[in-house]
Structure 1
Amino acid sequence: MCVCGHVCSQKPNKNLPIKEQEKAGCIANSIELSLYPASHNTEHVNRIENEVLRRSLLPPKDDLSSISADEVQKLIKNLKLRKAPGLGGINNKAIKCFSTALLALLVAIFNA
């Protein structure tokens, strides 16, 4: 079994997949599992999205000013690629690939 949790063709020493395409597949699987562990549970995803929306509509508990999508985009653009991921396990390269919808969720979370 590969580090991504899937059965992959491996070299005789059982450490690495043989083909570059298989390596890429394992990396893609690993990223998908780390970013979307509950993606197959639509009810769970909907519950999280509704909670984020609900909390984003609450008044702030402090006097911090709101952050805009442009500010978040600028910060993401300036992230260094070769840094270790944070507590969420998402590396900067993946963050730079976030869609506009995911960016909007980040802004809502930060402002909540």
Structure 2
Amino acid sequence: MKKAEIKLTIELDDNNVPDSITWESSDGENKEALPAKALFLALWDHHYKNSLRIDLWTKDMPLDEMKRFFYETLQTMGDTFVRASGDDPVAKAVIGDLRDYCDHFAEKMEVTQKQN
């Protein structure tokens, strides 16, 4: 059985606000810690049937990048749900609604450039 480890390192200021976030993977090509400005981590607790989350961002994370991060995370969640649900017809229908919302979000947050 193959195992991989993902390591997150968070440096906090005196008020416990993240100054820096770095991550590294034992399975990756790059063997040094890489910087990140924000992270969303969600885990499913099978026993309690709920999600456990960690949402962190550094104090110097620009708002325009945070908007883009949220947009891309929403899009990725849709992609993941499509893969996880297989051919479920209800899931396929709902994904269309999520894509529509992502388009609306991107427009309101001015995350993507408008097509002419």
Band of TM-score, shorter chain: under 0.3
Tell which structure's C-alpha radius of gyration is larger: 1
Identify the structure with bigger relative contact order (alpha carbons < 8 Å, sequence gap 6+): 1
- Compute the TM-score of the two structures, normalised by the length of structure 1: 0.28
- Compute the TM-score of the two structures, normalised by the length of structure 2: 0.27
